[in-house]
């Protein structure tokens, strides 16, 4: 199997497994395990704290030893973490499962994109990230259907099923994944070199800083939006309502990513940055409005808009980062960006959870939305500093 096709397979199957496990996970934690709004946020905060600590070391491992090994180990750990999560429905077990899953996630994060950028032909890299984003959303759509169907049998079954699919994907990668164009970087000074690359580039510095503030908003939306909408479901089964909303968001994300793919190109980073800044601005408006919404249709519409915009932002950011990084430090720089996202979530989650606990869940979401505003300015500034056209993307 070619690296291009294998990357698309990873995107589709990985998204299917993840969405199967996580689509109704918050409802499961709130209703079956009985976690409070603050506990829901603290679970996510622990996950992001682990991601923050592990991001750069795992990025160095990927650059120094093997990106293939890092990706495979990551999917194995994520599968094990989900098994613990689904089989032991207690607060303590969920915290432990989050640690295992988070370590696996950071092994994959950055290494997967860096592997794809190295192994896929340069003329196909941009298409791979855009198509990969669409397949991620399509796989997620199928995962939503699976989650709703499996929840009707047992609330924890979607989590266990997601774990099994993740482990099967890891086994497939052991058999199919190759690594022909990667060359190990020197461990000595690798992190320093990655940090210097970020510090010495206004573009990368703006991306990292913007990601930090965008990350501060993530926990508030991810952990509080479904509990916020739960009272609106009325007499309808919550798993059907949220499954339907997730399906609509996934379909919308596929369309938005496809439209964005026509406007962005890895050799035109200036345009990519501007698109990302606009997307983040719309996310900020949507989150603040969602927290203030008092009507069902207004809340649902804003929730869907924010979901599809956030899903579309990831492949756009990946394309921008590929154009702004060098191959020898690409995985490390990706990890630094992911670490900024994790640090932002650690910093922004507890304030949003505290406001939700003391005042209202909607207030916590609106506060989280305000954190995105500086990210818009920083991404716009980085876009202005990006070159209008690159002669060639380095492998």
Does residue 351 have a pLDDT over 80?
A: yes
Average pLDDT rounded to a whole number, residues 103-122: 85
pLDDT of residue 231: 78
Domain-located, residue 390: no
Does residue 101 have a pLDDT over 80?
A: yes
Contact 194, 333 (CB under 8 A): yes
Q: pLDDT-derived band of residue 89, with 50, 70 and 90 as boundaries?
A: confident
- Lowest-pLDDT range of 140-154, 277-291, 324-338: 324-338
Domain-located, residue 79: yes
- pLDDT tens, position by position, 49-70: 887 787 767 767 777 788 889 9
- Quote the mean pLDDT of the chain: 83
Average pLDDT rounded to a whole number, residues 81-99: 91
Q: pLDDT-derived band of residue 192, with 50, 70 and 90 as boundaries?
A: low
Question: What is the domain extent for residue 169?
Answer: 3-385
Domain-located, residue 260: yes
CA distance 376 to 168: 39
SS (H, E, C) 45-110: HHHHHHHHHHHHHHHHHHHHCCHHHHHHHHHHHHHHHHHHHHHCCCHHHHHHHHHHHHHHHHHHCC
Domain-located, residue 283: yes
Residue 59 CA to chain centroid, in angstroms? 16
Domain-located, residue 338: yes
pLDDT of residue 118: 82
pLDDT of residue 266: 59
Average pLDDT rounded to a whole number, residues 300-310: 88
Domain-located, residue 290: yes
Helix 202-229 and helix 372-385, axial crossing angle in degrees, nearest 10: 150
CA distances from 376 to 22, 96, 211, 244 (A): 28, 35, 10, 30
The CB density around residue 32, as the number of other CB atoms within 10 Å, is 12
- pLDDT tens, position by position, 198-210: 766 788 888 999 9
Average pLDDT rounded to a whole number, residues 243-255: 79
Domain with 46 in it: what CATH number?
1.20.1250.20
Query: pTM above the 0.85 mark?
Result: no
Domain count, the chain: 1
Q: Which residues lie below 8 Å from residue 137, measured CB to CB, with a gap of 6+?
A: 15, 250, 251, 253, 254, 257, 311
Domain-located, residue 339: yes
Domain-located, residue 394: no
As a whole-number percent, the residues of the chain with pLDDT over 90 amount to 28
């Amino acid at each position: 199997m070619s690296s291009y096709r294998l990357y698309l397979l990873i995107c589709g199957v990985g998204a299917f497994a993840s969405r199967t496990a996580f689509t109704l996970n918050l409802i499961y934690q709130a209703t079956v395990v009985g976690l409070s709004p603050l506990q829901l946020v603290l679970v996510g905060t622990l996950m992001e704290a682990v991601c923050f600590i592990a991001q750069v070391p795992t990025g160095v491992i990927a650059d120094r030893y093997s990106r293939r090994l890092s990706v495979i180990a990551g999917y194995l750990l994520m599968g094990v973490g989900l098994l613990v999560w689904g089989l032991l429905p207690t607060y303590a077990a969920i915290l432990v499962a989050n640690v295992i899953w988070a370590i696996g996630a950071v092994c994959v994060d950055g290494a997967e994109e860096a592997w794809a950028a190295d192994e896929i032909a340069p003329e196909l890299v941009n298409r791979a990230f855009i198509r990969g984003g669409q397949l991620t959303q399509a796989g997620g759509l199928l995962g939503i259907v699976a989650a709703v169907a499996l929840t009707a049998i047992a609330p924890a079954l979607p989590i266990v099923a997601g774990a099994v699919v993740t482990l099967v994907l890891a086994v497939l990668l052991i058999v199919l994944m190759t690594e022909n164009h990667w060359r190990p970087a020197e461990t000595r000074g690798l992190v320093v070199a990655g940090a210097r690359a970020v510090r010495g580039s206004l573009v990368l510095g703006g991306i990292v800083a913007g990601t930090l503030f965008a990350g501060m908003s993530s926990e508030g939306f991810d952990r509080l939006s479904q509990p916020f909408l739960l009272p609106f479901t009325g007499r309808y089964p919550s798993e059907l309502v949220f499954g339907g909303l997730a399906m609509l968001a996934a379909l919308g994300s596929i369309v938005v990513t496809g439209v964005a793919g026509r406007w962005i190109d890895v050799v035109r980073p200036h345009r990519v940055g501007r698109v990302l800044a606009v997307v983040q601005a719309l996310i900020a408006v949507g989150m603040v409005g969602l927290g203030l919404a008092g009507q069902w249709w207004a809340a649902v519409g804003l929730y869907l808009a924010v979901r599809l915009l956030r899903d579309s932002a990831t492949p756009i950011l990946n394309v921008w980062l590929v154009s702004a990084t060098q191959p020898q430090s690409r995985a490390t720089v990706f990890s630094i960006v992911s670490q900024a996202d994790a640090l932002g979530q650690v910093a922004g989650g507890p304030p949003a959870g505290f406001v939700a606990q003391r005042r209202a869940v909607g207030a916590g979401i609106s506060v989280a939305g305000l954190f995105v505003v500086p990210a818009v300015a920083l991404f716009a500034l980085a876009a202005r500093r990006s070159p209008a056209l690159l002669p060639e993307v380095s492998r």
